[in-house]
Structure 1
Amino acid sequence: MKSFGILSTLFLTATAAPLAPRQEAIQTTNFSAATVQGGPGASITFDVAFPSGPSATCSYSDDTSGAALPDVSPYLACADDRVSWQFRRIVSRPGSDGFYLLVVRYSDGPNSRAGSKEWQASEFPVVVGEDGVQETVYSGPVDFPLANA
């Protein structure tokens, strides 16, 4: 009889708190980031798709950046203005290379959601182009999921 009571308690406890369904990942495709010192400046562009939500192209460009990629902050609107994003280099300790952080968010009332991606600075190497000019160019995968933020 004791074992029946224990099993009943375990069964009721397990069914009383169902696991929350896992959210599908936000997908980012066609990501590129580059800058040319003394050249056309910087550009960062990508497409993002929210499951059960919008898809949008997000982009930034300037003609003033040097060899380093600029921070895009505060949030910048994408082609669908319910989607916004920021891109920043985080240097946690003086003298360290730090890391880059992309945060993308979708805001439409109760359907709000955000995702993020971190990269080591080594994935954005400074290279010398054929013309001898330094460039920072993203060298990682162009398609990737965002972690829930």
Structure 2
Amino acid sequence: MNPATEGDTPLPARVAEHLQPGESLVAAIWVSRPAGVEALRISRSEMSPWRLRRAAPESRRGVNGLPRSHAVTLDEHIRTVNDPRVLARTDRRLLLLSQGLGSWRDLLPRPAGTLSPLRLRWESPRTDLTKATEQSGELRLDFTDGSYLVLLTPSAHVQPFLDG
């Protein structure tokens, strides 16, 4: 499903099932990868089937950090605007959730107006996020390990996410 078609569905209600007892949701927003991902530079030795490699984080626009940093591990779960994710900030954690397809039950027909549940993809303690800012209409997340990530978001919802 596309978030544009789910405008009447309250996002906080969909995130609520992932909250721990006593935890409260501060804000939630749809996020995706910004355009402008650079092409991979592949050498002849890297084309060998014995040496398959993933794109290095520095080859993706908007992500900066070491391979196991918060920004890079979060970026591994971010998709394009065709498959956006939900970034939720609680008083304790930062969560990344995706839509359905967690099990075969998500493929079964649902009553009209019923959405598939969100699936937890990534989480981090809230204290690992040092700041969240708007940068040219995009959301920038800075982490305690010095890494950062820039995400594409609906511009009308960035400020409420930052204020929350």
Same-fold call, TM cutoff 0.5: no
Whichever structure has more strand as a proportion of its residues is 1
Q: Which has the higher contact order (CA 8 A, sep 6+)?
A: 2
Q: Which has more radius of gyration? A: 1
Whichever structure has more helix as a proportion of its residues is 2
